[in-house]
Structure 1
Amino acid sequence: TRERLRRDLQAARDANMNMLRNWGGGYYEDDAFFDIADELGLLVWQDFMFGGGMQPGYDPAFRENVVAEARDNIRRLRHHPSIVLWCGNNEEETAWKDWGHGKTLKEADPVFAAKVWQGYVDLFGKDLRSVVAEEGLGVPYWASSPSNDLDTKANDSRRGDKHYWEVWGNPALPPTAYLKETPRFMSEYGLQAWPQLSTINAFATPEEQQVDGPVIEAHQKFLAGKGNERLLHYIEMEFGTPRSFPDFVYLSQMMQAEGIELAALHHRASRPYTMGSLYWQLNDVWPGASWSSVDYYGNWKALNFHARRFFADVAVAALRDEGSTRFSLLNDGRAEMQGQWRVRVLDFDGRELQQQRGPISLPALSATEAARFSDAELLQGADPSRSVAVFELLRGDAVVAQRLVYFVAAKQQALQPAQLHSELRAEGDHYLLQLRADKLVRGIWIGFNNADASIEDNAFDLLPGQTRTLVVRSTAPLSTLRTALHLQTLGDTLQSRPVASQDNASVERIH
């Protein structure tokens, strides 16, 4: 519906995204999609509807049919300023060149393989390129994604666009591997997470909510329902084994958000070599586990809240890998900025161990490296499991942007439970939720169970002694919201005692 389209596109715009890709495994959206994209200022990369296979492009009648469909859709949509690229297909060239499709067919029938490939070149290299040139009002054409527009290697970080699935896909590298892949334009990468429990409750009873249960596996489409094994691999890497199904859901969202943030900030910090970062995927077509940042019912996962911060015009990219942190400041605004960078190292009780700062000028539309630090320079002998580095951009005394860097995995940190205090009160036509942290609090997730409420921000950390006040909007009375309010943190989740339940047994069994 138009309402769902607006909801999802608004979620993208509110998260500071400026481009969406309609991939070739979907369908041509109706005019309402593009009307809303035009209105919101979202750029659209539009694939033609081919994905993952190899069409009979050697058949002139088939190609004629494809061209007619393409011409019809280009004429229908070409007046939309949001459309900035027409792309021939999703992953067909790389499937032929890199996945073994071409090699297998060449070994079986080299004459037919040559015919199939020539048909591909004719369709995606010539026919669709020509119809876009004729009808597309100057919008450029790209033969496939990923590709170098039919020039030699298809999925190359040095030229063209890149799909990167060695994180999440095989060989399932850790998210820090994103920092070693620096493409010209990253058009696909991703990590899975489950939607919030209220969404899962719509299709699974509490008794059915088991990591390896049949209902849950039916809503997990990766690896034929066994994708939770891959998800646990990534959760356990950073957080250890979840103690219950709700913890599994919560930790999946924390893992997804932190991993994609690492990649996106690396892409932005690599400007101007890297000039685009499109993660897979924005939204869901049904409720279940997926790579989306917005679930089927429009609820934001932790990733969409993180995206609003890591895609902000001005942001801090402090990226730690192999004992070294590269500190860059990002300015996507059209005006130069003057400010100061600051680095503080704190223990989890709030004691400042050291501070450094310096002036910096940020040109418009730029990424500027401020400094690099080894762990030894930052910690200076402090306990890495009890320390956090705070990287900031200041204008005067105001913190414009901030990113926290940790030195060990969360499961190795000395995080403590029950360090977050809350107060919810009415204020005019809305409510205010005040949060205060005694010690460092990681991974705050604010929920209201089944009460209908929207919150200004979510999925963030608080430094020791820090207070944040958030706007909550709901038609429910204050007493209902106070009863429904549920706060979860990594300290509470990782340091709580194991739960003796069927949910916990399921997690242990699948591992």
Structure 2
Amino acid sequence: MPDISKRVVIQIDEGWQFREASETEWLPVAQFPTNVHLDLLRHKKIPDPFLDKNELLVQWVGEKTWLYRTEFDVPDASGYEKVVLNFDGLDTFATVVVNGHEILKSNNMFIPQRVDITKVVKAGDKNSLEITFDSALILGKKIQEQYPDHKWVLWNGDASRLAVRKAQYHYGWDWGPTLMTAGPWRPVWLELYNAKISDLYFTINVADSLDSASVVAKADVEGSATEVIFELSLNGKLVQQSSSKINGGYAQATLDVSQPELWYPTSYGSQPLYELKATLLQGGSELDASSKRVGIRKARVVQRELNDAPGTSFFFEINNIPIFCGGSNWIPADNFIPRIGKQKYYDWLKIVRDGNQAMVRVWGGGIYEEDVFYDAADELGILIWQDFMFACGNYPAKISSLRDSIKEEAIANVKRLRHHPSIVIYAGNNEDYSLRESEGLTYDPENKDPDSWLETDFPARYIYEKILVDVTKELVPDTYYHFGSPYGGEDTSDTTVGDIHQWNVWHGSQERYQNYDKLSGRFVSEFGMEAFPDAKTIESYITEESRDELYAQSQTVDFHNKADGHEKRLAGYLAENFDFSTRPLKDYVYVTQLMQADCLSTAYRVWRRNWKGPGREYTAGALVWQINDCWPVTSWAIADYYLRPKLSYYAIKQHLAPVIIGMKREVRETRRDKYTSLVDRSVVVELWVSSFLLNDIEGKLHVKAFDVITGNKIYDKDHGLVQVTSNRSTDLVEFGLPKVSDVEDPSRVVIAAYLFDLEGKQIARYVNWPEPLKYVKLQHPTDLRVDRVDDSIRIQTDRPLKGVTLEANDVEFEENLADIVPEETVTFKAKESLGDQKVDVRFYKPDRHDK
């Protein structure tokens, strides 16, 4: 028998069955938690929707009603005042019946539900639990019909999604399939108690000097108890302890910490996590205990006037350190969330951390992520930008029941997430203000009357500027809340205030990516370029029966790219920059990935240049769209569904290193006189260094240039000592583009810049190529040396090589992209033993010069 003074938790995760409502046969579930697609797949009732074009064959699933049931035992409950059934997540329209009694109707996937079943439960006996899941698609359309006056405008998916609090990407997006899931997608569990800690939370104040902190620990208590003991520990060692009497169901104590071990973002320091524990007592007996991991840190968003530029800064400061937030956007890692295990979450976030990324933005069309996601971010030092779950639509906030549900959703999820030190900002939505502008919906920033917003054709404003403002102000007053992403200035395209989504490369005006320096903003929270996934990933989704579809422009491969106009946009950017062919497939995959790598690394390089120190934080962050995929697809992701990095991942990693060299060719034109059309042109090379280090260093700068055709060195200069100032970019030198003999041909000149420390160790290198590459007369090397030394591959060449990468079946490399010039050795280090693994070397070399 359990000690009936203490709360008891029982997981209800066994014996589950499911069926379609019109069927009679119950089948066992595939796992628990689960969803209907996973269960149907286990029983081979549907084809795998990730293969071929099978997505089209499973659309009926989302239009059916599904039933789930199980039985659970309840121990002797006579000593307990409460028996509560908990549902951490029901997807989405759910009716719950226990022992024949309807106990719950739920219509929000994001709200955990707690139901007191003390009066209906049978202690010491079997209890039946049945959940009916109605079609979210059909019920959403019926809700939509009830409000014909609302402007149901959106980007992506079916308009009915705006009325349904379900993961919006389930309705289809421009990178993901339409798969309308249903089921108990998060744990179901029972608790028996007399009193419990219903919430443990805290606020932290860190002194400006960082040498002390106070942790104000708080506990909400349900039931009869007298005292809470709060303990703060680090690595199992007690730091502070305090007790508090319970007053009105609430207890609080202040725990002062001298010389706290502070939590820092990755590469800026360590990530110590204290444990805050609360123990609930009644007459000396323990009734309940709860604990949270605590990161002591000082975090704020700084928006202040700039020294010599319009608008204001928008940067994150952690423990008094301004942080340039290079990182990426995160979408759910699968269409079927329950099958994403703990290890996969950690693997994904290790990819982020190992790629030198400081921040991940949890995008507003997915889910408030699983606890393990944020736990991993806390441990790895990754900052989290957390959107609320609204994306690309005009949500019908005139519906009072929807507003109530959204408020409950926001409260529940902020309470669940607010202890994580990784979360440094909450944002109200993704691109809903941009959609408002596109559709011409009413928005008067001078109108401060929230009730009147509900009477306009943009009632969703009430969600972002009233409901979410109130919730975050009350629950996370020390964490910055941003109305939306993008948001700031006169409109969402204002580059001088707040954040922007820079989609004028790929979308919008489809600018050349070489123009990213003219497309900057104070904080760029989205930008991107598509590329094919690994060829093995493409092969994985084309079945044996469809093997004749295994080429770049097949119907099946196009089906696995959901972006509107992707055929012409991807081809357009390739044609603008590369000489390429779509066959063989591996070659085409390579060139799309190389183009994506060049595109995105250009953005990071030139935007990082704008991080120029105090008062000159012209660009303070760049979050690429996107780090991951939810299925095997051609998309903007820099690592595909199977966690296989694309070339762009390595390019971004290199451009977010602690110290980088940047270089740009600037064409300067001078008209000979005011009457002539004749212009003298010269090419000037601008060179700068960007540092994330927190201390100044001295370095030696050396620059070489080579003729791409002959491999001859045409420039070799030691530029002497340079000062690398901490945590900013510094312009170093500029010089005229070297000539090939007496010929001025910029398309033949490749420049390599090296920064060495005073002992001669290389700190940074960068190789600058003429663009576009399609005009460059690349040559095969006549002397290419590839040496295997231990678990590394070393490469030397007598001709400049573009886009060198290694291909091996079962081995990954720490770095797997490099441009290589003569007179240097570039090393690729394997993550594990190479053994006798065959390793192929690939580099960009169009076939035209071989004919």
Deviation (angstroms), 1:85: 0.4
Question: With CA pairs under 8 Å and 6+ residues apart, which has the higher RCO, 1 or 2?
Answer: 1
Q: Is the 8 A contact 1:239 1:494 kept in 2?
A: no
Counterpart of 2:634? 289
2:843 maps to which of 473, 489, 496 = 489
Separation in structure 2 between the aligned mates of residue 195 and residue 121 of structure 1, nearest angstrom = 38
1:420-499 maps to which residues of 2 (within 5 A)? Answer: 420-424=784-788, 427=790, 431-448=791-808, 451-473=809-831, 477-478=835-836, 481-482=837-838, 485-491=839-845, 495-496=849-850
3-state SS, counterpart of residue 9 of structure 1: helix
**Is it true that 1:102 corresponds to 2:460 in the alignment?**
no
Counterpart of 1:107? none
Deviation (angstroms), 1:475: 6.7
Q: Is the 8 A contact 2:703 2:715 kept in 1?
A: no
1:317-466 maps to which residues of 2 (within 5 A)? Answer: 317-322=662-667, 323-348=683-708, 349-355=711-717, 357-375=719-737, 381-396=743-758, 397-417=760-780, 420-424=784-788, 427=790, 431-448=791-808, 451-466=809-824
**Is it true that 1:13 corresponds to 2:353 in the alignment?**
yes
Deviation (angstroms), 1:279: 0.8
Q: Is the 8 A contact 2:703 2:753 kept in 1?
A: yes
Deviation (angstroms), 1:173: 1.5
Separation in structure 2 between the aligned mates of residue 214 and residue 276 of structure 1, nearest angstrom = 38
Q: Is the 8 A contact 1:345 1:379 kept in 2?
A: no
The one-letter amino acid paired with 2:640 is D
**Is it true that 1:235 corresponds to 2:235 in the alignment?**
no
Counterpart of 1:198? 536
Deviation (angstroms), 1:490: 0.8
Deviation (angstroms), 1:452: 1.3
Counterpart of 1:304? 649
Counterpart of 1:509? none
The one-letter amino acid paired with 1:285 is C
Counterpart of 1:313? 658
Q: Is the 8 A contact 1:186 1:276 kept in 2?
A: yes
Q: Which TM-score applies when normalising by structure 1?
A: 0.87
Q: Which TM-score applies when normalising by structure 2?
A: 0.53
Deviation (angstroms), 1:477: 4.7
Separation in structure 2 between the aligned mates of residue 119 and residue 379 of structure 1, nearest angstrom = 67
Task: Select the structure that is richer in strand.
Answer: 2
Separation in structure 2 between the aligned mates of residue 288 and residue 491 of structure 1, nearest angstrom = 26
Separation in structure 1 between the aligned mates of residue 846 and residue 547 of structure 2, nearest angstrom = 21
3-state SS, counterpart of residue 485 of structure 2: coil
Separation in structure 2 between the aligned mates of residue 81 and residue 69 of structure 1, nearest angstrom = 21
Separation in structure 2 between the aligned mates of residue 118 and residue 470 of structure 1, nearest angstrom = 54
Separation in structure 1 between the aligned mates of residue 743 and residue 700 of structure 2, nearest angstrom = 26
Q: Which runs of 5+ in 1 are unaligned?
A: 105-111, 498-511
Counterpart of 1:277? 622
Deviation (angstroms), 1:222: 0.8
Distance change in 2, residues 1:247/1:113 (3 Å): farther
The one-letter amino acid paired with 1:456 is E
Deviation (angstroms), 1:395: 1.5
Cα distance per residue 1:291-349 (max 9 Å; x no partner): 11111111111011111110011111213354444322111111111123333222231
Counterpart of 1:119? 459
3-state SS, counterpart of residue 58 of structure 1: coil
Deviation (angstroms), 1:354: 4.1
Counterpart of 1:503? none
Distance change in 2, residues 1:424/1:395 (3 Å): closer
3-state SS, counterpart of residue 102 of structure 1: coil
Deviation (angstroms), 1:75: 0.4
Separation in structure 2 between the aligned mates of residue 256 and residue 90 of structure 1, nearest angstrom = 24
- Runs of 4+ in structure 1 over 6 Å off: 376-380
Counterpart of 1:210? 551
Distance change in 2, residues 1:496/1:489 (3 Å): farther
Separation in structure 2 between the aligned mates of residue 275 and residue 443 of structure 1, nearest angstrom = 28
Aligned length: 475
Separation in structure 2 between the aligned mates of residue 299 and residue 311 of structure 1, nearest angstrom = 19
Q: CA RMSD for the aligned pairs? A: 2.4
The one-letter amino acid paired with 2:811 is A
Counterpart of 2:390? 50
Cα distance per residue 1:459-491 (max 9 Å; x no partner): 21111143233333557751xx22xx2221112
What is the aligned-residue identity percentage?
28
Separation in structure 2 between the aligned mates of residue 240 and residue 328 of structure 1, nearest angstrom = 30
Q: Is the 8 A contact 1:341 1:370 kept in 2?
A: no
Counterpart of 1:23? 363
3-state SS, counterpart of residue 593 of structure 2: helix
The one-letter amino acid paired with 1:394 is F
Q: Which runs of 5+ in 2 are unaligned?
A: 1-340, 444-451, 612-616, 668-682
Separation in structure 2 between the aligned mates of residue 453 and residue 354 of structure 1, nearest angstrom = 37
Higher mean C-alpha displacement, 51-60 vs 293-302 = 51-60
The one-letter amino acid paired with 2:348 is D
